Amino acid sequence: MASFQQFLSTWPAGRRAAVAAGSAAEDVLTVLGKDTLRPEDFLALLSPAATPYLENMAKRAHELTLRRFGRTVQLFTPLYLSNICTNRCRYCGFSVKNKQRRRHLSVLEASAEARIIAATGLRHILLLTGDARKVSPPEYIADIARAIKPYFASIGVEVYAMNEEEYTLLVLAGIDSMTMFQETYSEELYAWLHPAGPKSDYAFRLAAPERAAKAGLISLGIGALLGLEIFEQDAFATGLHAWWLQKNFPGVEISVSVPRICPHEGDFDVPHPVDDIHFAQYVTALRCFLPRAGITCSTRESAFMRDHLVPLGVTRVSAGVSTAVGGRSTQDNGSQGQFEISDRRSAAEMTAALSNLGYQAVVKDWEAMTEVCPL
């Protein structure tokens, strides 16, 4: 099987730019009438020609979302295990360059945090660490997964890229999903953004979801950090990646996260900020191109934005979030978060807000979509 990197090379930046620039209004309307979209069609929906048709795209995206997911939205929450990191990502507050207090949870401390989360009714948890294999090796993550497994229906990880054997270790510990942000699909820009540390290996990171699927993880999330690269370039590459994963790993659930870069510690100027119009265009275009894919929206976005994106395609949202290590069990631990949270709603508040919108908050998604948050 050819890798995604090989497939992506058939869509170089120049080709993407030419197709986007060559898309016209009639192409956009034709695409919106199709049942199945090709990559070229997705690019037309991301192009400047599609922006005036956002309302048509929203209508189509809403229909497709209702057909596939009904009025349900899955809730999850992240648990930050460690902010010790050896990388120098220019856009991240956890970069080794930034002088902030570091904290690393023991298995016991992580279990205490997890029990606080479980008490809110949430049953999907996402474990996160910085990239520091010596202090947070795969075995440490597996130990925590085993310790907290009794409290959760699903345990996911958003950690450094691993090899296939390491992903197998996670599967055996009860972890079922992984999220891997490529940040940007531009190899040149990626090299500049990640000047040092293990994350500077673009190809190893890009192939991580493939290795995870081969190791037996049943749910994969991917995403680019919007704002780093020209909008259509990374938006298209992300959708193309999800589409390719769906085709090559049909038994694996694929979802796309849509983070926009937000303020953090440091002095990074966002090169290509994505405004709300283009953000909505991205979510609706993704839904039209990938009707089966989950779309995840984090608390980087405001409550207003998240509430408005649910009918347009978002199917997973985080709630009760703390991006500080040990942020739930300790009021003042001196550990800063990775990014600023815009939507601070608890699991109960998120459930109520979704209910007001006519949606059910689902805390366990694989028992006939029936278990609804009891809060």
Residue 298's closest CA among 332, 262, 324? 262
What residues numbered 182-221 form the site for ligand SF4, per CB under 6 A? 199
Residue type, 24: A
By CB under 6 A, residue 157 contacts ligand SF4:
no
Tally of helices (H runs) and strands (E runs) in the chain: 15, 9
Please give the helix or strand (H or E) that residue 308 lies within, else none.
helix 303-309
Site for ligand SF4 in 125-144 (CB under 6 A): 130-131
In 310-346, alpha helices (H): none
Tell me: does residue 87 bind ligand SF4 (CB under 6 A): yes
Residue type for position 366: W
CA distance 280 to 285: 8
Return the range that interacts with ligand SF4 (CB under 6 A); candidates 92-100, 169-177, 213-221, 287-295.
92-100
Q: Is the CB of 158 or the CB of 365 nearer to ligand SF4?
A: 158
Residue 129 tokens read as: 């660490």
Q: Which residue has the tokens 């938006």?
A: 235
Residue with tokens 């997890």: 114
- If one asks whether residue 337 binds ligand SF4 (CB under 6 A), the answer comes out as no
- Which one, 96 or 288, has the nearer CB to ligand SF4? 96
Task: Give me the least distance between CB of 315 and ligand SF4, in Å please.
Answer: 25
Looking at 91-99, 115-123, 267-275, 284-292, which segment touches ligand SF4 (CB under 6 A)? 91-99
Could you say whether residue 95 binds ligand SF4 (CB under 6 A)? yes
Q: 93: which 2 tokens?
A: 């507050």
Binding residue count for ligand SF4, defined by CB under 6 A: 9
CB 198, CB 234: distance < 8 Å: no
Among residues 130 and 227, whose Cβ is nearest to ligand SF4?
130
The least CB distance from residue 68 to ligand SF4, in Å, is: 31
Which positions lie near ligand SF4, rule CB under 6 A? Answer: 85, 87, 89, 92, 94-95, 130-131, 199
